[in-house]
Every structure is written in structure tokens, then in C-alpha cells.
Amino acid sequence: MSSGGRPTGHWRTDRPPYRNHAGETAIFFLFVLVTTFFALFLIAIGSIGLIVAKVRESTVESTRGSHDARTRQALNAYLFSDIPTADPAEDRNAFITQLEPLLIALKIELDIDPFARRHARRRSLKRVMLQLTSEVIGETRIRLTRAFEYFGFVDETVRTLDDHRWWVRAKGCKNAGLMLNEAALPHLERCLDDENDDVRIEAAQAMLDIAGVEIIAPILMRLQGMSLWMQVRLSRSILRYGEHAVEPLVHGMRSEYPVVQGFCAEMLGILGDVKAVPTLLEYIDYTVPEVKHKSLVALGRLGDDRSVPVIKRFLDSDDERLRIDAARAAGAMSSPSLAYSLHWMLVKDTMNVKLAAGEALSRSGEMGLKSLRYAMDLGNEDVRKVAMQYLHEAGVDVHAPREEDGGLL
């Protein structure tokens, strides 16, 4: 943390018998001078820059504020004035035609300003409208969407998608999504291949916002990978569609990228629609362990009897992790035919699998509890401990004295 070498000495140059230091001294002086000026220069630049930035920020903020206040007033008149056909669901085109005079009024309001200020007002309009998109829904939202198109903000935004700075592209994708204009879709689709993850995510998100559930499958097939962050972001929108998202996700299982497959499997599990079971079973044998893992978790969540044979097969897998996943899924099935295998795993398998099997048994009803009880009485030290833990967690008093042949069972 220290900046290292601190002061040191230099040596008198008037000692003729030993060496003449005049040259070195000159160099040293030069070094001192140059570095000092350099450092002072940097400090000065930094401090001045800081102050200038602060002052500028505050003035920009205040002019922005005054612009925005005026813009909002003009905009409110457009957004909330009553018009004859107030229901856009009936006839969207009629509704939009009726907005026209209001838009013209708003445009005139903006055009009163002198030229230089008109730019600032335009930016202000865009800013305020973008902010409002996240606050309103319904009829007002359609008016906003129309206004974005009318004032040419959509074209302006689409042009930024080719910028060389990633954050400008990402921002463009985000704004395009907020403007809800289908004209942006092909441009956004191009951004799905962007080199920057944030741009890809914003593009996919925007496409979902604009086109809704129909676009899920095309996006999934187009993606060449998904970061966890992208999965988190997209899952939010996809889950909102509920059962309508099942079919596109089933389609997405066909992606050649395991990450995308895994994502689909996970989502299908969360959605909890048993329609997904056949697809999950179909793919589980032809894919990488990571997707198998996610499919098993999903199958466990779905809890459909059709998956029992597959889960049973995975209980014998060579991969410890998959055995654990299968055991967990088996616990959710509460199928008696799985209980026998689980019991066997509890007795013979590794500690991690024992724990998973124990937990699964504790959830498998009477049969499972009986098996745990048996293991607790007859198993070795580890088996007993695991059995005790899960009996205890299932609410059985493991220390209570028992009548012969288990009053419990």
C-alpha cells in the first residue's frame, strides 16, 4: 500500500580523489524536475476535472429538470385527453388515427422553442417518455408507443444498434424494447450475435417485450450460448407467460447448445406443466451430464409417474452427482417402486448419496419412513446417523422408547 522507496541521500560531489559526480547530479536533477512536474500536472488535471465535472453536472441537471417539467405537462395533455373511441382493444387502427391531432398539438408545442433549445426539448421528450414506459400500462401505454414512432425515436434508436461502443448498442436494444415497435425486431435479432453479453441480453429481452410468447422459440434456437445472467433475465419474462411458454421451451430443447437445453429443462420444471415430461424423457439420454442434471431436477419437480423408470435407471448411474439428482427426484415421486432402490443406496452408497437417499425416503410416505427406521436399527454408524437425521426432520422422535414392532408404523 505504500508507494515504496522513501527518501534517501545523495553524495557530495566535491571529493576529487574518488569520483566526479557532476554528470550524475545533473541527471538526477532532471529526473526530479520532470517527475515533479508530471505528478503535479496529473494532480492538477484530476482535481480541476473533478470540480468542472461536478459543476457541469449540477447545471445540466437543473436545465434538464426545467425542460422535463415542461415536457411532462405537454405530454400529459396527449396521454390523458379523452378521445371518442377509448378502447384500443376493439379497433386499434381507429384508436391510433384519433391520436393524430393530439400528436400534432404536442409537436407544435415542442416546435415553439428556438432551434437550439428544440434539440434539448426533443431529448427531454424521449427521456420522459422512456421513463413513463415502466410506470404505465393499458391504453396510455399504446399512446406512448405511438408517440415513439411518430417522433421518429424508433428509427433513431435502431441506428444506434450499429454503434462501435457496446454500451451504446446495449442501451439502444433496451430502448427499442421499451418503445414496443415491431419495426425494430430484425435489427434486434442481429444483436443476438453481438460480441458483448449485455447487448445480447438486452436484445433478447427487447424482442420478448415486443413480440411476446411467439418469439421465445426463435430466440432460443438462435442463441449460441447463455450466461447465467442471461438465463436469470429471460426466465423472468418467460415465466410470466405461464403455460403458454411450455411449447416454445419444449421446442428449445432441440437447440444444439447444451446451455440452452439445460435452461429449457429448468424452466419446464419451474413451470410445472406435465406436458413437458415426454420431451424431457426423450432428451435425457442424448445429452451432456449438466443437462441430465437439470432434466432430473425438472422431472422431480413435475412428479409425473411416467418418469419413474428413467429415474430408477439413473439411480444406478456411474456419476455420483446424477445419482444424487435421481435420488432427489425420486423423493418427489413418492413411488413405492423407487423406495427399494433408495433404501439400497442409503445402505451402500457414498456419504453424499446416502444423505440424498435419506432425504428422499423421508419424503416417500410410510414406506420410506419404515425403511429409514429399519436402517436406523440395523445399519452401520453412518447409515444410522443419516437415517436418524431424516427421521428427526420428518418429525419422528428418534430418542423415544418404542414398543416392540414400532408403535410408530
Partner 1 sequence: MANRILVVEDDSNIEQLVTFKLKNSGFEVFNARNGKEALDFLQKNSVDLVVTDVMMPVMGGKELVMELKKDPKTRSIPTVMLTSRTLEKEIVEGFELGVEDYIKKPFSPQEFIVRIKTVLARRKT
Partner 2 sequence: MMEFMTGFSDSILSTYAVFIIGFFIFVNVFYFSMYTISFGAILTYLRRHMFCDYRVIVQSELTPAVSILAPAYNESATCIESVNSLLKLNYPTAEVVFINDGSKDDTLDVVIREFDLVRTERVYVPVIATKPVRGIYVSRKPEYRKLIVVDKQNGGKADALNVGINVSRYELICAIDADSILEDDALIKVAKPFLDDDRVVAVGGIVRIANGCKIERGRVSEVRLSNKLVPSFQVIEYYRAYLSGRMGWGAINGLLIISGAFGLFKRDLVLQVGGYKHDTVGEDMELVVRMHRHCLENNIPYRVEFVPDPVCWTEAPETLKVLGRQRNRWHRGLLDTLLIHRKMLFNKRYKVLGLVSVPYFVFIELLGPVIEAMGYLAVGFGYYLGMVNLEIFLLFFIVSVIYGVMFSVSSVILEEISFHRYPRTRDLVKLLVLAVVENFGYRQITVWWRMKAFWDYARGVQSWGVMTRVGFKK
- Coil, strand or helix: which one is 77? helix
Count the residues of the shown chain that bind partner 2, applying the rule CB under 8 A. 63
Count of CA atoms in the C-beta half-sphere (13 A) of 29: 6
Of residues 172-201, those binding partner 1 (CB under 8 A):
none
Of residues 93-152, those binding partner 1 (CB under 8 A):
128, 131-141
Q: For residue 409, what are the CA distances in angstroms to 35, 225, 388, 397, 406?
A: 85, 51, 16, 13, 6
Which of partner 1, partner 2, none does residue 42 bind (CB under 5 to 8 Å by kind)?
Answer: partner 2
Q: How far apart are CA 123 and CA 132, in angstroms?
A: 14
Q: Is 265 in contact with 279 (CB distance < 8 Å)?
A: no
Of residues 54-83, those binding partner 2 (CB under 8 A):
none
DSSP 358-371: HHHHHTSHHHHHHH
Of residues 233-252, those binding partner 2 (CB under 8 A):
233, 235-236
Given 70, 123, 127, 385, the residue binding partner 2 (CB under 8 A):
385
Those residues with Cβ within 8 angstroms of residue 327's Cβ, 6 or more apart along the chain or in another chain:
315, 342, 345, 353, 356, 357, 359, 360
Mark residue 287 as left, alpha or beta (left: phi above 0; alpha: psi -120 to 50; beta: remaining). beta
Using the rule CB under 8 A, is 69 a contact of partner 1?
yes
Give me the torsion for CA of 254, 259, 263, 269, rounded to 10°: 80
Which of partner 2, partner 1, none does residue 26 bind (CB under 5 to 8 Å by kind)?
Answer: none
Using the rule CB under 8 A, is 149 a contact of partner 2?
no
Given 66, 76, 224, 227, the residue binding partner 1 (CB under 8 A):
76
CB of 82 to partner 1, least distance (A): 8
Of residues 293-352, those binding partner 2 (CB under 8 A):
351-352
Given 26, 30, 32, 52, the residue binding partner 2 (CB under 8 A):
32
Largest CA distance in the chain: 108
Given 68, 109, 194, 266, the residue binding partner 2 (CB under 8 A):
266
What is the binding site for partner 2 (CB under 8 A)?
Answer: 1-13, 15, 17-18, 25, 28-29, 31-32, 35-36, 39-40, 42-43, 46-47, 49-50, 53, 166-167, 170-171, 174, 197-198, 201-202, 227-229, 231-233, 235-236, 266, 270, 351-352, 355, 382, 385-386, 388-389, 391-393, 398
